[in-house]
Amino acid sequence: MNNYKHWDLKRDSDNILWLGLDRKDTSVNSINEEVLDELNSLLHEISQDKNALGLIIYSAKEKGFIAGADVNAFSKFETPAQAVDFLRKGQAVFARLQDLKIPSVAMIDGFCMGGGYELALACTYRVASDEKDTRIGLPEVMLGIHPGWGGSVRLPQLIGGFNALSQIILTGSAVHAVKAKSIGMIDDVVPIRQLKRAAIYFIKSKPPKHKPSFIQGLTNSSWMRKPIAALMRHNVAKRVRREHYPAPYAIIDLWEKEGGMGDRAYLKEIDSVEHLVSTGITSKNLIRAFSLRERLKGFAKGSDFNATHVHVIGAGVMGGDIAAWCALRGLRVTLQDQTYAQIAPAIGRAHTLYKKKLRKPRLIQAAMDNLIPDPEGHGIARADVIIEAVFENLVVKQEIMKKVEKLAKKDAIIATNTSSIPLDEMSSVMNNPNRLVGIHFFNPVAKMDLVEVVSSAKTSKTVELDSCAFVNQIGKLPLPVKSSPGFLVNRVLMPYLMECVQLLDEGYSAETIDEAALSFGMFMGPVELADTVGLDVGLAVAENLTGHFGGAVPQKLRDMVKEGKLGRKTGQGFYQYKNGKPVKKQASTPINPHIADRLILRMVNESAACLREGVVADADLLDAGMIFATGFAPFRGGPMNYAKDFGTNNLENLFKTLESKYGERFKVDESL
């Protein structure tokens, strides 16, 4: 029974079969065709076994249960038909698992995602450990598709359609095992030491299978599905548009028609995924974005650096929020500014963040205990990572670097969070300039995944690799970039924001400009984005960049900063803010198509210039930076991918049209 590459089958003294998945050549379990074929053969053998009492499926890896279907394999399919064959195979194998005459248990410890949870759904029972890493979900919607191995059928049957869609499938987010148990996704959650015993109990005792409550079950009935589907569509529409992200709408349509019942529902599930894969670009580009995310995580693998203490200098919005985030991730953090009074607002914001993220008083207090006000800067000498995050003033930053270099441990990372000052200028006062690295976060720190790791010609490779490892340690995505004015993200973003101010100057309303960008697929319009970043910050970066690369800063921006209208933080910028939200009027329609063209092509042109100058290694990484740091329409795959899809001739013609109409700033970059 054991001539299998990825699976290991053993029988214990009670005649219970233990089937462990240990996919070869990967550090985590995921399901490809080979894994499915072997499982199919094993289930055939098991179905012939007259003595077996039950089957327990578990992971033989150190980490996690099953991460889902192999996304890399999925992205390599050349035709929708290949994807459909893969889905049919998975459905057939999981149907065979469900049809076994003996009870089966999925024994889950660690992540159990997508196809991994669909496998668990095909088992009779599911038990999970209460470890903090045990999280269960169906994230397919994040890849522009939805469950295709029976998940859209079995989960509504298990917990009711409303809960299955609104809490799990449409959100794509993973839930902790305790919550999964409370909504019926799993049958029991136990401490890790009792996990095997719990699995054996379910095989021997054969308790009744979980069923949805009467109310939950009612949501699957045909007369309830229509109004619930309408409500869910309304809620989804507040977040994403059908033309940009069709998958959540497709899963609602599928459930409304089929109700998660009968063989036809499984066939329609595959038809729906096939339609998503074969029409439009969303699924292809979201799968690409997933691969880019994995590539960014890979930059942390070149170092085993592990920080325990971080010291942040500057308790303003950025510095305070960086400190708060590091403390949330379990690091000891000392936060320095001139007085306790200047540090106090950052501590207050940290408490608000922890209440939202952690909820439990004990966990909130533990995070607060990690964050220590330190006006005298005692933490510098003890910290593994020191991050300078004061305002953009070269002389002030140089003074800090001189002091930090004297006091810091020899192997500590010395970093700056500057958004635009080249590192060579800052490190010119240091005895050992190869120690300075940029670790550049984006605002708001708690929401933005990407962190630029900035190296000058002098920054040592070890320091760069250690910095990438640190960024990964705090749950962010490191992107190595070259030190040049604005680095990558701000440099590409600034022409986009300046074009937005130009459009305002021409008399377009803020709402019309933002709606044009949202219609293109941006998560936030440029006017609201400028207000969120802060008009004073935008002005400082714009002046720095125009000083290096030419161009003009719109007078309107200078005037607003002079008047103290700095955006969201002052309650007044291009928009007025009420309770932190912009007060918007209706956008004028129809919207001039050139608005989006002007905004996006400024970004595409600057992206091309950055690639030509080697600011970032390649176009894929540039796209990753803009997707994960600015919310550039993920379904379009980033500015360079968008330019490629748009086509060279079309792009050149559009640039020429805009240049003749609006001037020199639309002169196409030679590399395009």
- 3-state class (DSSP) for residue 176: strand
Separation CA 546–CA 553 (nearest Å)? 7
**Selection from 329, 338, 333, 310 nearest residue 439 by Cα:** 310
- Asked about 244 being catalytic, the answer comes back as no
The Cα 442–Cα 39 span in angstroms is 45
User: Coil, helix or strand for 103?
Assistant: coil
The whole-angstrom separation of Cα 113 and Cα 120 is 10
Kindly name the residue from 44, 244, 440, 548 that is annotated as catalytic: 440
DSSP-assigned states of every residue in 12-24? -TTSEEEEEE--T
DSSP β-ladder status, 16-21 and 7-11: antiparallel
**Joined tokens for residue 511:** 């709402």
Given 3-state DSSP classes, what are the helix, strand and coil percentages for the chain, each rounded to the nearest 5?
55, 15, 35
Distance CA 224, CA 231 (A): 11
| Residue 376, burial from CB neighbour count under 10 angstroms (0-12, 13-18, 19+) | exposed
Task: Sheet containing 385-388: give its strands across.
Answer: 371-373, 332-336, 309-313, 385-388, 413-416, 436-440, 450-455, 477-482
Q: Which two tokens stand for residue 399?
A: 């003074």
| Rounded CA separation 492/624 (Å) | 13
Beta bridge partners of 244: none
How many whole angstroms separate alpha carbon 488 and alpha carbon 614?
A: 10
Q: Could you give the residue numbers annotated as active site?
A: 440
